[in-house]
Amino acid sequence: MTDLLAARSQMAMSLAFHIIFAAIGIAMPLLMIIAEWKWLRTKDEIYLTLAKRWAKGTAILFAVGAVSGTVLSFELGLLWPTFMGYAGAIIGMPFSLEGFAFFTEAIFLGIYLYGWKRVPPRAHLFAGAMVAISGALSGIFVVIANAWMNAPTGFKIVDGKPVDIDPIAAMLNPAAFSQALHMTLAAYAATGFVVAGIHAFMLLRDRQNRFHKAALAIALAVGGISSILQPLSGDLLAKRVAKTQPVKLAAFEGQFETQTGAPFRIGGIPDEEAGVTRYAIEIPYLLSILAHGAPKAVVIGLNEYPPDRRPPVAIVHMSFQIMVACGVLMMIIALWGALRFLRARHKQTPWLESKWFLRVLVAAAPLGFIAIETGWVVTEVGRQPWIIFGVMRTSEAVTPMPGLIVPFITFTLLYILLAIVTVWLLLRQVAASPQGAEADQKEARLAA
């Protein structure tokens, strides 16, 4: 393994690990405050129990997210010092703002988790809302910095050095809005589906448990609404990529030839040597429509670029396909859930009775996080060989430090260990979940 590959692997592993906790850190506070708000409104103690249960899980996950995020902020320099030396002055701004957003999140999370008995209920709910808002903001700021790497703006290059730096223009880069929107929705969708899946699983074992029904309804509402909106933001983002990084879009779809009225490929294996994508189901004109909004639009192919300016096509194409498939499935399940909910409401019947619906929710639980992970592969590998698209190559940015395989293996083992402990602790929380409404209320009274 070369040092460059080790550095890339360490960064990829760190990001893939952190993104899970970051997404949960964005979405869980929203679920918690919805539950707490319903408790304040209905005085039904089941919602208080729920908010507290979720808060416990969030505390564990937030701690892991906070430390793995700290690691990343250092790794930017440890692994890519040349990149940071070059770009720090241009994209430091969103990181600084993220610092403050994260600060706000940590402060109010402390109040939320430990202040149940120390602040009045409304102040407590307010603290939760602050956690939810600042959590979303810190995610948005970090994604804005990443968007700049895809669509670098706000500077000129003279003699290989950035001049005329405009950090505001860098923040308002063309990819910023669509990327931030796509990631924020993804966080809500993925977390909502995981939480809904867990409670659906518990409901299958204990069909009349009001606690799990309440939890499932809130999680599915947040996850479902986001999943229905997500394809729209994906479309927005794809159109941006088509404009700012046509070579990346071509890799998404294994599009080698420049083509008028290009088809959308489902599946297929790109053969980079031969320059074709085989065995794909092709839907005529759809890629031209999706990328440029017109069936006859020209989609630029990979062949327009020399090989040393193309990303690895196969992995980007496969990841893109998996992400889209997960997203589409989630949207369909969300629509099915919405239909069930509306029909049940109309007829005054329960909507969570169907065994099959619950089973599907259990099966769909990991889809959102699979989509997030593959989505980041699409974004990051699709940008290669550049670290700053068209400006600096990843190979130019890497640290001269030798033996990078050592930190890569060390951090990988450390994170595997953390993952195992985290999952084990969360399973304990779930296993200890209240059985039956009576137990809930007893516990809620004790907790209050």
Partner 1 sequence: MPLETIIAGVMIASLVLYALLGGADYGGGVWDLFAFGKRAREQRALIAEAISPVWEANHVWLILVIVILFTAFPPAFAVIATALHIPISLLLIGIVLRGTAFTFRTYDVQRDDVQRRWSLVFSIASIITPVLLGIVLGAIASGTIRFEDGIVTSGFFFSWLAPFPFAVGFFALALFAFLAAVYLTLETRNRELQEDFRLRAILSGVVVGILALTVFVLAEIGAPTVRAGIGRSSWALALHVLTAATATSAFYALWTRRYKLARVSAAAQVTLILLGWAFAQYPHLVEPDITIFSAAAPRITLQLLLAALIAGAILLFPSYYYLFRIFKSQPQKGTKAADYQT
Enumerate residues 24-43 that contact partner 1 by CB under 8 A.
Answer: none
Which residue in the set 4, 16, 40, 89 belongs to the binding site for partner 1 (CB under 8 A)?
89
Closer to partner 1 at the Cβ: 10 or 227?
A: 10
Q: Is residue 109 a contact point for partner 1 (CB under 8 A)?
A: yes
For partner 1, which is the closer residue by CB, 307 or 402?
402
| Among the listed residues 102, 211, 256, 389, the single contact to partner 1 using CB under 8 A | 102
Whichever of 42 and 73 has its CB closer to partner 1, that residue is 73
Distances (CA, A) of 338 to 232, 342, 354, 365: 18, 6, 14, 17
Whichever of 304 and 396 has its CB closer to partner 1, that residue is: 396
The torsion of the CA quartet 40, 45, 49, 50, rounded to 10 degrees, works out to -60
Q: Closest Cα to residue 47, out of 61, 60, 31?
A: 31
Q: Which stretch binds partner 1 (CB under 8 A): 52-60, 286-294, 327-335, 371-379?
A: 52-60
CA distance 359 to 364: 9
Locate 23 and state its tokens: 């997404």
State the binding string over 56-75 for partner 1 (x if CB under 8 A, else -).
Answer: x--xx-xxx-xxxxxx-xxx
CB of 270 to partner 1, least distance (A): 36
Tell which one of 110, 121, 284, 293 touches partner 1 (CB under 8 A): 110
Q: Is 250 exposed, middle or buried (0-12, 13-18, 19+ CB in 10 A)?
A: buried
Quote the tokens at residue 165.
Answer: 């730096």
Which residue's CB is nearer to partner 1, number 177 or number 415? 415
Q: Which of residues 167-186 bind partner 1 (CB under 8 A)?
A: 167-168
354: alpha, beta or left? (left if phi > 0; alpha if psi -120 to 50):
beta
Binding residue (CB under 8 A) for partner 1 from 35, 87, 198, 324: 87
Of the pair 64, 185, the CB lying nearest partner 1 is at 64
Hey, which residues between 399 and 428 contact partner 1 (CB under 8 A)?
Answer: 399-402, 407, 410-411, 414, 418, 421, 425, 428
Site for partner 1 in 128-167 (CB under 8 A): 130, 163, 165-167
* Residue 121: other Cβ atoms inside 10 A: 12
Structure tokens at 29: 């506070």
* Min separation Cβ 24 and partner 1, Å: 14
**Min. distance of Cβ 67 from partner 1 in angstroms?**
4
Tell the burial category of 274 from Cβ atoms under 10 Å away from its Cβ (0-12, 13-18, 19+): exposed
Minimum Å gap between C-beta 229 and partner 1 is 29
Give the pair of three-digit tokens for residue 177. 């809005």
Paired with 157 in beta bridges are 162
Residue from 12, 16, 84, 236 binding partner 1 (CB under 8 A): 84
Torsion on CA atoms 170, 173, 176, 177, rounded to nearest 10: 130
**45-79 and 81-114 helices cross at what angle (nearest 10)?**
160
Distance in Å, CB of 30 to partner 1, minimum: 19
- The H helix count followed by the E strand count for the chain is 15, 10
Identified binder of partner 1 from the candidate list 12, 16, 78, 225, rule CB under 8 A: 78
Site residue total, partner 1 (CB under 8 A) = 71
Of the two residues 110 and 293, which places its CB atom closer to partner 1 in the complex?
110
| Nearest-angstrom CA–CA distance, 17 and 356 | 32
